[in-house]
Structure 1
């Protein structure tokens, strides 16, 4: 029974409001929290979920090398997650039955050490789609906090290992 079906049944049988039943349901049946790439895989395959899940289970080990050499990073990340997660099948089924939440990725500011605070923060210019050193202020134009993936995609993954840069995790 899906979440929606359970909510409808409880609303009818218990003569409760939908909001109360949804809150109650969510409090006793927690949604799985998964990385974004797992949510992306699920969204791509949810219409024929059980067929696609069967394919993953059946074909995974036979085509493991295809995942490793595939140019699609979602498939590679998903394959690694599936292989390394003890209860991956249960998590995927729970996502389908109860919904899911995407785990928050850690975000970081990156700053050049030992320089005056002004214009030493690594920013992504959303308008020009380039990286610049600018202020700490996050604006519509400039993003000042970045995920590890964003930094790696921008060829800045090395800042985590460089003593000349200060990388601080932010909320």
Structure 2
């Protein structure tokens, strides 16, 4: 069974006509032997010769044998007779199929857009990423992040750890990148680190940050609780931005 047949549907049984069965009420049924060997009684009016049953294949085969003009007349007449019903069925079927395909295509486009956004996230410096997260955490909008002042003229970024003016300046100069980073997410730029040395000096010639004393100073040794590789921002925040323009200082870009 194909799953479409239901109880009460009319069916066709194929077999061999095997005689008559005369009933006591005066009626006569036909005896039909099925392929399984069973013999069943069927009213004579319900029995047809096999060559009397017209199938879809029979109709198509016969129409193919017609001359093109006659075949077109048949097709036009059939469509005239059943066109409205057939058209409505085709429309409904097409509409439902279109909805399914439209939903599938729509989901594919959404997935593709999501993948595109993930693969093409803008790259921003760490201090910009910190600023975006701070503003969102404070409930500021994208526009508000460029001018974090309340109606009384008070700053809404007093607790931000970095220089707010530097962040806003970067966001203003790179407005498209900043907006995309705010809306779609971002990747943090891998900051370069530098080794800062005093030219011509052997002792106390390397700029380090002492974790214990929590300050920068020049040292001849990298041993101990010190950091010798600094980002430009770390140096600028500590007041050592001048080293990048000083002729007596050697700046070497180093790996992490």
Q: TM-score range by the shorter chain?
A: 0.5 to 0.7
Segments of structure 1 that go 5 or more residues without pairing to the other structure are 1-24
Contact 1:151 1:157 in 2 (8 A): yes
Partner of 1:93: 183
Q: Show structure 1 runs of 4+ deviating over 3 A.
A: 25-28, 45-49, 54-57, 70-74
Contact 2:121 2:181 in 1 (8 A): no
Structure number, greater radius of gyration: 2
CA distances 1:44-75 after superposition (whole Å, capped 9, x unpaired): 233586x6125347x68xx9xx99xx996542
1:141 paired residue among 203, 225, 232: 225
CA distances 1:91-129 after superposition (whole Å, capped 9, x unpaired): 32111xxxx22112221111111123x542111111111
Kindly state the Cα deviation for residue 170 of structure 1 after the two structures are TM-superposed.
Answer: 1.3
Normalised by the length of structure 1, the TM-score is 0.62
Contact 1:108 1:169 in 2 (8 A): yes
Instruction: Return the structure number with greater relative CO, CA threshold 8 A, min gap 6.
Output: 1
Partner of 2:130: 40
Contact 2:117 2:184 in 1 (8 A): no
Structure 2 residue 243 is the aligned partner of structure 1 residue 159: yes
Normalised by the length of structure 2, the TM-score is 0.44
After superposition, the CA RMSD in angstroms is 3.8
Equivalence map 1:50-129=2 (5 Å): 52-56=141-145, 73-87=162-176, 88-95=178-185, 100-116=186-202, 119-129=204-214
